[in-house]
Structure 1
Amino acid sequence: MSSTNPRRRRTGTAALMAAVLAAPLFVPVPAHAAPCSQLDKKRGNCNLDIRVPGAGGGGGGTGGRGGSGPVLPPPPEGLTPDQANDVAPVPGGPAPQPAAPATADLVAAAQASTEYPTPTVHTAPDGKTYVRVRTSLWIEGFDNVQTQPITVGAQTVQLVATPKSVTWNLGEKTIVCDDAGSKDGKTCNYAYQRSSASRSGGAYQITATITWDVRWTCEGADCDEAGGSLGVNSIPSAPTPLVVSEIQTNTGQ
């Protein structure tokens, strides 16, 4: 039996070690790594933290480190990662601004804050008139109503109410006048046909109700609309007594 040439055995061993050392070191270290005494101490391969490209880190095993950065949440539904980066708040940056309120909400606030004058009733003759005598009717408070502007962000809302007519409930009849009336009675008047003697307290309780046409406007880049109508609003006066008497005539014999 022929013996193995020692020089050839040493040469084979050296070739094997060279092949091992030339191989890539991207090999995960097993959980039960060989003791340092069994490794090549000259190369310092004692339980090295060897990473495999593309592999995630973990808290167990040989204590390998994790990935190279924080794990980001998936983008919102319907957005690409680039779009999500565009809308995402910048850490440490200013807080996002609240959304602009709806214009309708500002209009409702203006409407709730509107103060309408209560009409004040006047007649001539004052407080007492006569059957078939033209009685002048007029009021105070027949004026435009305008709210203070409400500004939020890039929109300013204002409400304007314009008086359109006055409805007079005269006890005997209801009439409508297109303006406030006047003391001379040219635009608003009435002649009673019956006295008020049979009425409670001997007087008619008359009222005047102003009807306003209410509109709103909005100016600014955040306005949903430029303006619109809120319909009409009616405010009555307090009841005012008016005595209507018969004219007494004396006929000679």
Structure 2
Amino acid sequence: MSMSVFWAKQPPAVAAVDPAALAREAVDKMRLAGPDIGIVPKPGGKGLVGLPVWMWTAKTAEAYGPNSASASAGAVTVTASAKVSRIVWEMGDGHSVTCTTAGTPYKASYGKRRSPDCGYLYQHSSKDEPGQKYRVTATSTWTVDWRGGGQSGQLTETRQSQTQVTIGQLKVLN
């Protein structure tokens, strides 16, 4: 096997590093997830029509942020920072609630008060739903700011989680 060597007038072109592609790589390293759902009534428990439902997510780096990571190629390093800007809760009955906070975890001492920042009131029982439960879907929108390689930008990512709740009808006896 013979090997040939040659000299070029121009050095071979170096592949340009795309900072936006490195930003996506950094986002992948973060392992962003859907909301770590907290909800009252608890799945497996039972709520009632007209009683407050509380929704929240745990404030972890993967479920709510802030979260950050870097990615490098050659001499270029891009750092990305992500946080949830909103969570849209589809309540399973055709209505949705948009929350711009992580929500407030429910405590028994709150009684029948409404959530101060992320709650809902069902108007109908879930008895006619599949499995007699409402399927609740929480979709978080992550805002990702990145910079590096002389550039900066913003990405938007969405992640989703689901749970189910049973809502009963309070029966009044005369």
Query: Which structure dedicates a bigger proportion of its chain to helix?
Result: 1
1:203 to 116, 133, 137: 133
1:103 positional shift: 2.7
Q: 1:103 to 1:122 in 2, by over 3 A?
A: closer
1:139 aligns with 2:139: no
Residue identity in the other structure for 1:203: K
Conserved 8 A contact 2:48-2:125: yes
- What is the match of residue 156 of structure 1? 77
2:116 to 186, 198, 202: 186
Structure 2-normalised TM-score? 0.76
**Aligned pairs for 1:39-188 within 5 A:** 98=14, 101-127=17-43, 128-140=46-58, 141-147=63-69, 149-172=70-93, 173-184=95-106, 185-188=115-118
Q: 1:245 to 1:113 in 2, by over 3 A?
A: same
Residue identity in the other structure for 2:78: V
Residue identity in the other structure for 2:57: I
Q: Which has the higher contact order (CA 8 A, sep 6+)?
A: 2
Choose 1 or 2 for highest CA Rg. Answer: 1
CA deviation profile, 1:172-224 (whole Å, cap 9, x unmatched): 11110111111242111111000000011111011111111112111xxxx2x
Unpaired stretches in structure 1, ≥5 consecutive residues: 1-72, 77-86, 89-95
Q: 1:108 to 1:250 in 2, by over 3 A?
A: closer
State the alpha-carbon separation in 1 of the partners of residues 34 and 17 from structure 2: 33
- What is the match of residue 110 of structure 2? none
Conserved 8 A contact 2:33-2:160: no
Match of 1:176, SS state, is strand
Of all paired residues, the percent bearing the same amino acid is: 26
RMSD: 2.6
Residue identity in the other structure for 2:138: A
State the alpha-carbon separation in 2 of the partners of residues 188 and 236 from structure 1: 17
Residue identity in the other structure for 2:152: G
Residue identity in the other structure for 2:34: T
Structure 1-normalised TM-score? 0.54
